[in-house]
With several copies, the nearest count.
Chain A
Amino acid sequence: MKKISNNPENYVPEMLAGLLAAHPGRLKSVAGDVHCIVRADSPVEGKVGIVAGGGSGHLPVFLGYVGRGMLDGCAVGDVFASPTIDQMYETTKAVDGGAGVLHLFGNYGGDVMNFAAAADQADMEDSIQVATVLVVDDVASAPADRASSRRGVAGMVYAFKIAGALAEEKASLAQVKAIAEHCLANTRSMGVALGPCTVPQVGKPTFTLGDDEMEIGMGIHGEQGVRRGKLQTADEILDQLIQPILDDIALGGSEVSVMLNSLGGTPLEELYIMYRRLLEVLNRHNVTVYRPYIGRFATSMEMVGASLTVLKLDSELKRLLDAPASTPFFDQGQNV
């Protein structure tokens, strides 16, 4: 696909410069590096800081969720590439308000190991207490008995929202970590790709799919899915997204929030076509939907396809989901 870009090498820094210029009252960069982005009012005294990080190309993930009620900071890497240890460390340091910092991000090797090194450094050099929670919501990436090795996809947005809401109430680091874990224990995702995307520095599509093919369970960087199949109807696709989730977590009779997410290229219209079917299926399982999120929450550049995330609610998760949040890409008042 054609890109609107100057020099591909500058794709990310120019994007970040534009983003910082667009939201000066809300965001700032630290350590003289546009890749280290925090809330303009950071550090918030006495509040646990929540830091995410990962590759670019997934807007609004990650940095789009930096703001009141969600993330305090984000270390931003190149397209689909990890930020550096230094960037993670500087971001961590900048959001520490004395109550410690939670590193909350997807289970990708580079991110995991760099965040670990950054946490060590923050502890060693600045005595900042850092806790870590990995997002592992993608049921397609490993069976239930190896659930901790799953990769993180759109479910991380729920974790940002829930943990961010509790942190805003000045809960302790242990509490914020615990609620993030509790949220993720109740979060499952599954995606389907109908077409690839193009990383600007690479210039060609990340993978190829036949005109009549789709890839079930594909990852957000084009990592292989569960299987490749013939392109199906919206209803059939939705069924393939919800079934593995129903098989993985007991939802019967419960209340859930759902996120139907376009990977970028798929228009919102088609998400609503799928949502119609989702309600039918959930109704059959006696599951009721609270606060559906339908839109682009975690993308892969212009990839065609969609993902479904389900968050099984209890009263505490519901309360925190309802809490207001305000970031450049996510604005939620009190009303449903």
Chain B
Amino acid sequence: MTTTLDTKQIKALMGAVADDLMAHKDDLAALDAELGDGDLGRTIERGFIAIKEALTGTLPDDIGRALFQLGKTFSNAAPSSFGALYGTALMKSGTALKDKLTVTLPECADAIQAALDALIERGKAQVGDKTMLDAIAPAITAMRAALADSGDDVSAAVVLRAAAVAAQHGADETANLQSKIGRASWQGERSTGKKDPGAQAIAYMFAAVADYLEAQL
């Protein structure tokens, strides 16, 4: 049986991500203070408060439109770099999943890939530039690898745990990179040695999803 997630589950996952990220807002703010301007905590807070509010209201029934609307909500509530990009990511995943009431794990991976492509287009950064991309790209690779290894009926929890581990590894690795983009890039060589806050935020998100799915088993 092919594993799928439905709209309700996706909304529950988004709620779990929101709760988890808000719990991490202070340490993300601290990372951003090192490398940027320290406002990532506020971005996280504002954005996810808005998401939580939207989740309690009336959202479209299909996964795609629901994600699209959550993305718009996040960007407008938290109009920073991260907010704009994370909003874009949700909107593009949504576009990829338009009209769907359930989604398979390969479709999930494709939607995240679509989001990554959109981020590269909008943000003009490449993987390796020390940004959130450096957590997203390895997560997708890990998801695909898990799916290839175990077939379509692998549990979502397993696939997402693989993604989470890869994302965290990617986030940790950003400490070795020199920033090429955004505020951190103005620090030039001094950016080396510090972990990218956006990448860490992404890693937290994948971990929150994996945690949630494992708890459901």
Which residues does chain B contribute within 8 Å of A149, judged by CB atoms?
180-181, 185-186
Which residues does chain A contribute within 8 Å of B84, judged by CB atoms?
82, 85, 109-110, 113-114, 117
Chain A residues numbered 297-315 whose CB sits less than 8 Å from any CB in chain B: none
Given contacts A142-B186, A219-B186, contact A82 B80 (CB under 8 A): yes
A268 contacts the other chain (CB 8 A):
no
B122 in contact with A222 (CB, 8 Å): no
* A180 CB, nearest partner CB in chain B, Å: 20
Which residues does chain A contribute within 8 Å of B37, judged by CB atoms?
80, 206, 221-223
B106 contacts the other chain (CB 8 A):
no
A109 in contact with B88 (CB, 8 Å): no
Question: Which of A82, A116, A142, A222 contacts B79 (CB under 8 A)?
Answer: A82
Name the residue of chain B whose CB is nearest to the CB of A113.
B84
B187 in contact with A224 (CB, 8 Å): yes
* B137 CB, nearest partner CB in chain A, Å: 19
Which residues does chain A contribute within 8 Å of B182, judged by CB atoms?
109
A142 in contact with B122 (CB, 8 Å): no
Given contacts A85-B76, A141-B186, A221-B37, contact A117 B83 (CB under 8 A): no
B6 contacts the other chain (CB 8 A):
no
Which residues does chain A contribute within 8 Å of B122, judged by CB atoms?
113, 116-117
Chain B residues numbered 165-216 whose CB sits less than 8 Å from any CB in chain A: 180-183, 185-188, 190
Given contacts A113-B81, A117-B88, A221-B37, contact A84 B76 (CB under 8 A): yes
Given contacts A113-B81, A113-B85, A221-B37, contact A85 B75 (CB under 8 A): yes
CA distance A333 to B36 in the complex (A): 41
* B118 CB, nearest partner CB in chain A, Å: 11
B123 contacts the other chain (CB 8 A):
yes
Chain A contact-residue range equals 20 to 34
Given contacts A84-B75, A221-B37, A222-B37, contact A113 B188 (CB under 8 A): no
Chain B residues numbered 38-82 whose CB sits less than 8 Å from any CB in chain A: 38-39, 42, 72, 75-77, 79-82
Which residues does chain B contribute within 8 Å of A222, judged by CB atoms?
37
0 or 1 for each of A73-92: is its CB under 8 Å from B? (1 = yes): 00001001111111100000
CA distance A150 to B183 in the complex (A): 9
* B197 CB, nearest partner CB in chain A, Å: 12
CA distance A82 to B75 in the complex (A): 10
* A187 CB, nearest partner CB in chain B, Å: 18
CA distance A208 to B27 in the complex (A): 20
The listed residue with most A CB atoms (<10 A of its CB), out of B122, B183, B185, B186, is: B186
Chain B residues numbered 5-43 whose CB sits less than 8 Å from any CB in chain A: 36-39, 42
B88 in contact with A81 (CB, 8 Å): no
* B74 CB, nearest partner CB in chain A, Å: 11
A151 contacts the other chain (CB 8 A):
yes
CA distance A199 to B45 in the complex (A): 17
Q: Identify the B interface with A (CB < 8 A).
A: 36-39, 42, 72, 75-77, 79-85, 88, 122-123, 180-183, 185-188, 190
Q: Identify the A interface with B (CB < 8 A).
A: 77, 80-87, 108-110, 112-114, 116-117, 140-143, 146, 149-151, 201, 206, 219, 221-224
A–B pairs, 13, beta carbons within 8 Å: A84-B77, A84-B79, A110-B79, A110-B82, A113-B88, A113-B122, A117-B122, A140-B186, A146-B185, A201-B42, A221-B37, A223-B36, A223-B183
Task: Apart from A110-B84, A223-B186, list 19 A-B contacts with CB within 8 A.
Answer: A81-B42, A81-B79, A82-B80, A82-B81, A83-B79, A84-B75, A86-B76, A110-B82, A113-B85, A113-B122, A114-B79, A117-B88, A142-B186, A149-B181, A151-B183, A151-B186, A221-B37, A224-B186, A224-B187
